[in-house]
Amino acid sequence: MTMSQVAYWGLALFAVLQFFTSLSMLSFWTWIIRISLAIVLWSAGWFVIAKLHNMVSSETWLSGNYAWTQGGEILSGLTKFIAVLWHDSSATYFEKITTAFQQAHQAVTWHSPDLGGLGHLNIVLFLTIYLSLEGSSPQAQTQPAAVAQTHEPRQSHAAQPPAATELQHQTLPIGPVNYRDHVDPYSVRSLAVSLVSGFPEHGTGPLLRAATLFEYVKNNVTYVPDPIRMESLQMVQGDLIASPAETLRIRGGDCDDQAILMASLLSAVGIANRMHLVKSQDGGWHLLTEFAVDASIYDDIVPALDGFYASIDRQTGPRGYWFFKEDPWVWLLADTTRNYVPDYAELIQSGFMVKKPDNSIQWHHLDSTY
């Protein structure tokens, strides 16, 4: 195997790795859009680069031997690469291992290595990954549910949010954000423990503890969007992540602030939780929190929640319950920009979830889980 063949398969392996990396970051159709955009961008860029090179080379060497092609490199490299892989796999799939090495070598020698085409393909895939990173930190666009009248839930103590000595927020960086890194159970543990101490540790106790924490946030934190700035008479939306203590102190925050606060409170009293970054049918993004209870209380969830909401003054309106049963857990929504635990019905209305004919529900687009 010649050095050019080694280089070819090295570039081919790198292309495969970049392909699966970019595909894992996006849904299939979003990936198609991103790679198409990358192809257009690089094709335009390469046309300019090759044109300038050919102008310089023709003036310097007065020979066409130095000219670079200016069209079809990307698609040509892609089709030739697929052809080699197809030839290799079809020739070796049912062969013995010793024959496979021989056939693989024949696959390389059968195709004259096109390093230029593979180079273009790798650049396009790299651009696709870059575009994916640029577009993966969206700002939530959902509108909050109406804020109910303030009321302390039953068996909760008159606890005050922890004091914050200074503003605690962080500008959201470009690229993927690990929202779990912003969860801080220790800063809110005193409040969380005081709120749930009247409920038992086992049975439906964790469910009622989570509902109590939900009510506290619902009644004490109002939906407030992130700050804006004005540029050329245009409103530019900022994107900040407040700490749990800061959200409690200012009694306001957007969906990511409230989701992080809810995850912090749940974590502070040992209730398993996760956060989902989801996208609606109209393109809006939203961060929400779910919590888990033991699957053994599955049949007791609805009566327990009905009893809980009958005991408080806040009116939730009609309630519909859906659960995600993933043994040994049952997962329930604790999204304080919605109306109750677990208000998946409002997420269906907002286009973040889809109701199927069998009455089950699923996410329209689940981007990440933290």
Neighbouring-strand partners of residue 286 = 278
Which element (helix H / strand E) includes 236? Answer: strand 234-237
Helical ranges in the chain per DSSP H: 3-24, 28-61, 73-92, 97-110, 115-134, 189-196, 205-220, 244-250, 255-268, 301-310, 344-349
Domain end position, chosen among 110, 134, 158: 134
Q: Is the per-residue pLDDT at 18 higher than 70?
A: yes
Residue 155 lies in a domain: no
Q: What count of other Cβ atoms lies within 10 Å of the Cβ of residue 282?
A: 11
**In this predicted model, what pLDDT tens digit does every residue of 221-258 receive, in sequence order?**
999 988 866 666 666 666 788 999 999 999 999 999 99
Placement of tokens 């039953």 in the chain: 154
Is residue 2 packed enough to be buried (19+ CB in 10 Å), middle (13-18) or exposed (0-12)?
Answer: exposed
Q: Are residues 203 and 310 in the same domain?
A: yes
Number of compact structural domains in the chain: 2
Q: Are residues 84 and 13 in the same domain?
A: yes
DSSP string across 271-285? --EEEEEEE-TTS-E
Residue 163 lies in a domain: no
- Cα 315-319-325 angle, rounded to 5 deg: 135
Rounded CA-CA distance 193/211 in Å is: 14
Q: Are residues 219 and 124 in the same domain?
A: no
Q: Are residues 316 and 200 in the same domain?
A: yes
Residue 249 lies in a domain: yes
Which pLDDT belongs to residue 144?
32
**In this predicted model, what pLDDT tens digit does every residue of 120-138 receive, in sequence order?**
777 877 877 877 675 444 3
Q: Which pLDDT band holds residue 296 (cuts at 50, 70, 90)?
A: very high
Could you tell me if 214 and 290 are in contact, meaning their C-beta atoms sit under 8 angstroms apart? Answer: no
Residue 139 lies in a domain: no
Residue 364 lies in a domain: yes
Q: What domain range is 248 assigned to? A: 169-369
User: Which one is predicted more confidently, 231 or 148?
Assistant: 231
pTM over 0.75: no
Q: Is the per-residue pLDDT at 263 higher than 90?
A: yes
Is residue 291 packed enough to be buried (19+ CB in 10 Å), middle (13-18) or exposed (0-12)?
Answer: buried
**CATH number of the domain that residue 185 is part of:** 3.10.620
> What does the DSSP 8-state code read for residue 149?
P
Q: Are residues 70 and 121 in the same domain?
A: yes
Q: Which pLDDT band holds residue 207 (cuts at 50, 70, 90)?
A: very high
Q: Are residues 98 and 230 in the same domain?
A: no
Residue 294 lies in a domain: yes
Helix (H, G, I), strand (E, B) or coil at 215: helix
Q: Are residues 346 and 205 in the same domain?
A: yes
